[in-house]
Homo-oligomer: A and B are copies of this chain.
Amino acid sequence: MASLALFTDRYQLTMLAAYARSGLAQRRAVFELFVRRLPACRRYLVACGVGRAASLLSDLSFSGDDLARLEADPFLGAALRDPAVRDLFERFRFGGRVLAIPEGRVCFPHEPLIRVEGTLAEAQLVETLLLSIVNHDTRVASKCARIVTAARGRECFEFGTRRTHEHAAVDAARAAYIAGFSGTSNEEAGRRYGIPVTGTMAHAFILAHAADHGEDGEAAAFRAFADTFALPSTCLVDTFDTLRGVDRASEVPALAGVRIDSGDLAALALKARTRLDLAGQTRAHVVLSDDLDEYKIDALTRALVPVDAFGVGTMAVATPDAPSLGAVYKLVALEDARGHMVAVQKRGSGKGSSAAPKQVFRTDAGDVIAVEGESQPGEPLLQPLEPIRAEQPLEHLDHSLAAARARLVADLARMPERLRAVDPRRDDEGFPVTHSDALATLHARIDREGRAVL
């Protein structure tokens, strides 16, 4: 895959040049990526993105064309005439060590989702790309996990491609799948990630048959569709009269199901189920869609509406109740001129301290954020992704989507019920996340002295 070295903010490139010029580029540095606060409608996040970020980092480099473009730039060009700067760009390969909370794990604000250890230059350069990936994928997975919970065991399918950028759609399908969706409509997500792909028919297909036969064309359309494919088909029944559509679909010998995409879904699903059963189509599924989110799905499943699967589009990919995630990427430790690793801290923002490399330990009683190297009870969440080189893809961690899905199922099962609730009470406690004594002491020292040798 082509390198995404230019898929970044310009200032990452000015930084590379200025670090090289200042002799700082090779200093050891540690950055961490974390979220400061939960979006209002979330009680937890689902870590997502690092699995695809890892391979993109391995591939990062500046092509000859990239370098030619940067040399021609009025601002960057002058800096690239310095041999030390040019050398850094020409030879750039990401060789850092990355630790991350594996995809599919439940996580919380202030917990480092990713820790990058490397030279100052390489760890700085990857900031924008890591944030783009993790902010997007974690935002979608965190919403979709709630939708799956609300579906109470019924299948959810991601249908949101048309509501997001054509490339974002592919990775939104991946995030939804990690969150427990059963599949996607996105063909490229199937090709790239092996996610099950599903799809029925267009209203235009029914209308095309209606152009010749009037509304009876609906039955002709269903027959033509079933005739085209060898396997049982799902029929879209709401083009004209939904219940007549169900009756026409019932005449298809190998009917997989009916999809209802408009109207009073609860009432139509109940009537459709009855008609399908009376017609002997007891195994045909009822699939509902139409701007569904976890609240609407929760209401349908609580009411025991006879539905087998949900199609979810806009709400899964655009996540309108939390349309952006604000993860940040902060320098938490750096080698100083004497070779000591020191924690330094941006002050004055009132945003709290993030200094020092950290690990997170989880027990059923809560998470403890500790200084890296501390021993604490519980399971350490950050796991190394290494080696992370193009010639040697990372293998230490199981990056399969199946593993990520299994992690989420296990984590959600262990979480307090109040956090899984689709509509949690406002006064419910969040999951307890505390700092270890050592981290608290270290932060107090940095607050007093501006820095602390680690």
| A contact set with B: CB distance below 8 Å | 4, 6-15, 17-19, 21-22, 24, 27, 29, 31, 66, 69, 73-76, 78-79, 82, 85, 120, 124, 127-129, 131-133, 135-136, 159, 161-171, 185-188, 190-191, 197-212, 214-215, 224-225, 227-231, 238-242, 262-263, 314, 317-320, 323-326, 330-331, 334-337, 342, 344-349, 450-451
Query: Which residues of B have CB within 8 Å of A349?
Result: 238, 262-263
A208, B451: Cβ atoms closer than 8 Å: no
Beyond A136-B165, A166-B133, A188-B6, whether A14 also contacts B74 by CB under 8 A is no
CB distance from A39 to the nearest CB of B (A): 10
Question: Contact between B17 and A199 (Cβ–Cβ < 8 Å)?
Answer: no
Q: State the Cβ distance, A38 to closest chain B Cβ, in Å.
A: 16
Distance of A201 from chain B, by nearest CB (Å): 6
A317 CB contacts on chain B under 8 angstroms: 324
Chain B residues, Cβ within 8 Å of A342 = 211
Give bound CA distance, A5 to B202, whole Å: 17
CA distance A364 to B349 in the complex (A): 49
With beta carbons under 8 angstroms apart, the residue of B69, B161, B207 that contacts A9 is B161
Query: Which residues on B sit within 8 Å (CB–CB) of A224?
Result: 18, 21-22
Min C-beta distance of A196 to chain B, whole Å: 10
- In the complex, the answer to whether B10 meets A166 with C-beta atoms within 8 Å is no
Task: Tell me whether A200 and B14 are in contact (CB under 8 A).
Answer: yes
Nearest 8 A/B pairs, CB to CB: A10-B199, A167-B167, A11-B199, A323-B323, A165-B168, A78-B230, A318-B324, A131-B162
